[in-house]
Structure 1
C-alpha cells in the first residue's frame, strides 16, 4: 500500500491500520489532521492558519498546567519518599489530555492528573511492599503506608477546598472509589505472596477492578462541571458496563505488554498466563484469543453508549476517552506508561512542537 496512495491519504490509512480512527484520542487526531490538511490540494490557507492558532492556544494552556503540576508532584514524592514508584507525571498528564483537552476542562484536568498520580503511587506501593510478608519488612511497611496515607488524606482535603460548596460531596465518591481499588490491589498482592494461580474467570473479575478504571471513572467527574451530576456519580460508582468493559480492555492491553516484555517474577499470573494454563495453549495462542476478547469489550463499550440514558452519556464519553488513550499507550504491545521513552516523540509533538508540516 505504501507508495500507492497519495499524501495525505497514505498517512491517514497507515495511522488507521495502527489504531482505528474511532479509537484515536481527539487531540491527537486533530494534531495529525491539521498537518495533513495542509498537504491537500486546494486547502484554505486562512482556515489552516486558524486551526494552528487554535491548537497552539490550547497547547500553551497545557504547558502552563504542566509547569504547575511538577511543584505538586515534587512535594508529594519528597514527603512520601516513594523512591520505588514510577515517576510518570508527564505521561500521566498526556493520558489526562486524551480524556479532556478543552480549555473549559482545566480544573478537571488538574484534579484528575493529581488523583491519577496518587492512584499510581498506591498501585506501586502494593506491587513493591504488599507482596513482602516476611518479618524483615514488618517495621518498614507501616511507615511507608503511614506517610502515603497522610499525604493521600491531605490531598483529598485540598481537592475538596478547590470545589464549590455544592460540589464538595464529589470527594466522598472519590474516596469510596479509592477504597475499592485498595481492596483489589490487596487481593492481587495476596495471590502473589501465596503464588496462587487463579482461574481465567476469577483473574478477570479481580483484574477489571484492579485496572483502576472503576476508580478513575469516578475521579474523571470530580472536577467536571455540568457533566458531574449526582446521578452521574451514582452511575460511575456502580461500575456499569461501560466501565467494566473498559477495565477489561485495560487489563488485556497491559497483559499483552507484560507478555511481550517478559513477566516480572514478582507479578501475579496475568490473564495471558491464566488463559494459557486453563486451556493448555501456548502464550501466543492465548494472546490471539484474548485479543478477540478485547475487541468484544470494545463492542460492549459502544453498545452500552448507544443504549444508555442520554443524561449519562457525557459521563460515559469521558470513560471512553480514557480507554481510547489506552490504545496509544499500549500500541503494538508496548507499555509507554511504565517505559516512558516509548511515548517521548508523541509528548514532544503534542506539547512542544504542535502540528508542523
Structure 2
C-alpha cells in the first residue's frame, strides 16, 4: 500500500515521465470491453447463481450433519478446505461452531500435519493455543526431530505455515521456521504436485501472510488433484470464484472509467496512472461480494491519495505543499483559490468524491464520513512534514521516522475508508478504535512501511524523498546499508508477530477492523515480494493480474 511513499521505489535515474507512465496491466479489460463471456464457462450468470445457492444449501446440510460425527482431525481438514477454496464467508456460523469444537479437543494422538493445522486455524481466528502442542515433535535436546523430514512433507509444510502465527518471544516457533524451511527447500524438487507448488508458494510467502484470493485461485486447481477431494465443494468453489470474478470485472470497469475521468481532469501528469494495480491490491485485501462498497471506497481513495502524495513527493514546491495542506485542513471548496492553479481540480474532485461517498451511505452510517475526513486531513498534514524534512535535508532519528511513517503509510486512513463501506458490524466503537491508532494498526502500518522501504533501498530512491527506515537506521547506528536492511527485515518480522498477538488479544467486536488491517498487510507482501515495487513498476504484476481476472476456470 504505502501510498505516502509511492515514489520511493523509483530508480534514482528515473524521471517524472516514468513516474507517470500508464498502467501496463490489461487496461482494455477494465475500460474498453463490456462483456467477459469469452473468459467464462458456458451457462448464464443467473444459472450459476441458482446452482451455487443450491450447492451452498447442500454443503451447509452436510457440514451440520458431520459436525458431531467427524473426529477433530477431519473437522480441521474440512474447515481448512472451505477457507482455502474461498468459501468461508458463506459458512461463517457453522465454521464458528466447528472451531469451538476444534478448540475444545486437542488431537493428542494425531501427527504433525493435523496438530499444526489446528494450531494455525485457531490462531488465525483469534483463538489462543499454546505452542506447547509441538513439544512432542522435539527430541531430548529440544530440537525438532529429524524423523519428520523424510516421510511427512505435508507435516513439514503445515508446521512452517503454523509457525508464522508466532507471537513475540516464541522461540520454539523460531526454531520451527528455521527447521521446516531448510528441509522444505531440500525436498521441494523431489515431491510431486500439488504439494510441490504449495511448498514453493509458502517459501515465498507463508500461507498466513498470503492473500486469500490468490490462494483460492491456486488451490481450486490443486484440490481437484487430491484423491479425497469432495466434488460438491469443488463445483461450488469454481462457481463462486467465477461469480466473484464477474463482479470484480464490473467493478474494475467502473473504476477505470471513473479514474480516467479523474486523471484526465486533474491533469497531474507527474503522478502515476495505476488503477488496475490499485484494484488488484484491493481484491487481495478484500474480495468477497458483500464488501463491494468497501472495495470501491478503498480503490477510489487510494487513487486520490496517491495523486496527493505524488504531488508532495515529486513535484510541488515547499510553499505549494503548505498551501495544499492548508486547503485540505479547511475542507471547503471556497478555499480552492489559495491553491496554485494546477492543484485546484485535484482539490475540487477530492471534495466532490467524498461528498458522493457520503450520499451513498444510509442515514445511520453517514457519521462515518467524519472519521474519514479527519483521517484524510491528517494524511496531508503528515505528507507536509515529510516534505519539510526533505526540503531541509533533515535526518530524523529512527524513532521520529517510525512515528511519522506509521501515519504516512496510509494504512490507518485506508482502514477507516474501507470500513465505511461495511455493514452494521463496523460500529462506531470500531471507528474510534482505528482512529486511535492502536498497537495492531501501528504494527500493520509498520509492516507496510518496512516492506516499502526495503524495496526503496533495493531499487533506489527518488532524489526528493526523505530517507527511508533503512537509511535512517544505518545512519543512527553507524552500520552498512546491508546490515541496516537486515535489521529492518527483523523488525518487519517482529511487527507481523505483533499483528498475530493483537489479533488474539482484542475484543472480538473489533475483529472486522482487525481483519482489514491483516489483509492489507497480506496484500503488501504480494506487492513488495522479493523487494520489488509492483505499484510503481506495474509490469511485475502482469501475469498475476491476467491469471486472476482472465484465466478460464472450467466447471
Residue 435 (structure 2) aligns with:
237
1:173 aligns with 2:371: yes
Q: What are the superposed Cα offsets for residues 205-256 of structure 1, whole Å, 9 maximum, x if unpaired? A: 1111111111112111111112321111111111111111111111111111
Residue 2 of structure 1 is matched in structure 2 by: 188
Aligned-pair distance for 1:56?
Answer: 0.6
Determine whether 1:26 maps to 2:212.
yes
- Aligned equivalent of 2:248, options 59, 62, 67: 62
Instruction: Specify which of 342, 358, 375 is matched with residue 144 of structure 1.
Output: 342
Tell me whether 1:41 sits opposite 2:224 in the alignment. Answer: no
Deviation at 1:38, TM superposition (A): 2.0
Q: Within 2, Cα distance between the matches of 1:214 and 1:46? A: 40
1:199 aligns with 2:385: no
Question: CA–CA distance in 2 between the matches of 1:321 and 1:227?
Answer: 17
Q: Normalising by structure 1, what TM-score? A: 0.95
TM-score (norm 2): 0.62
| 1:102 corresponds to | 288
- Rounded Cα–Cα distance in structure 1 between residues aligned with 2:424 and 2:499: 23
Contact in 1 for aligned 2:270/2:315 (Cα 8 Å): no
Residue 188 of structure 1 is matched in structure 2 by: 386
Q: Distance in 1 between matches of 2:446 and 2:233?
A: 41
In the alignment, which of 421, 438, 455 is matched to residue 257 of structure 1? 455
Q: 1:126 to 1:12 in 2, by over 3 A?
A: same
| Contact kept? 2:406, 2:445, Cα under 8 Å | yes
SS at match of 2:340: helix
Identify the residue that residue 290 of structure 1 maps to in structure 2.
488
Q: CA deviation at 1:356?
A: 7.1
Alignment partners' CA distance in 1, 2:426 and 2:307: 25
1:273 maps onto 2:471 in alignment: yes
Instruction: Give the Cα–Cα distance (whole angstroms) in 1 for the partners of residues 481 and 261 of structure 2.
Output: 42
Give the Å deviation of 1:3: 2.5
Q: Distance in 2 between matches of 1:28 and 1:354?
A: 15
RMSD of aligned Cα (Å)? 2.0
Show CA shifts across 1:70-114 (max 9, x none). 111111112211111111101111111122211111111112211
Count of matched residue positions in the alignment of Structure 1 and Structure 2 = 355
- CA distance in 1 between counterparts of 2:404 and 2:463 reads 20
Could you tell me which of 302, 305, 308 is aligned with 2:500?
Answer: 302
Cα separation, partners in 2 of 1:107 and 1:257, compared to 1, 3 Å:
same
Ranges in structure 1 where 5+ consecutive residues have no aligned partner:
none
Unpaired segments ≥5 residues, structure 2: 1-186, 325-336
Query: In the superposition, relative to structure 1, how do residues 305 and 47 fare at CA in structure 2: closer, same or farther (>3 Å)?
Result: closer
SS at match of 2:454: helix
Distance, in Å, in 2 between the alignment partners of 1:43 and 1:231 is 42
* Kept in 1: contact 2:294–2:417 (CA 8 A): no
The separation in 2 between residues aligned to 1:192 and 1:47, in whole angstroms, is 54
In the TM superposition, residue 18 of structure 1 has moved relative to its aligned partner by 0.5
Q: Distance in 2 between matches of 1:344 and 1:59?
A: 17
In the alignment, structure 1 residue 311 sits paired with structure 2 residue 506: no
Deviations 1:189-216 (A, max 9, x none): 1111111111111111111111111111
* 2:279 is the counterpart of 1:93: yes
1:81 match: 267
Distance change in 2, residues 1:44/1:311 (3 Å):
closer
Structure 2: distance between partners of 1:141 and 1:254: 30
Partner Cα distance (1:312, 1:295) in 2: 24
Equivalence for 2:236: 50
Instruction: Find the counterpart in structure 1 of residue 198 from structure 2.
Output: 12
Matched, 1:214 2:400: no
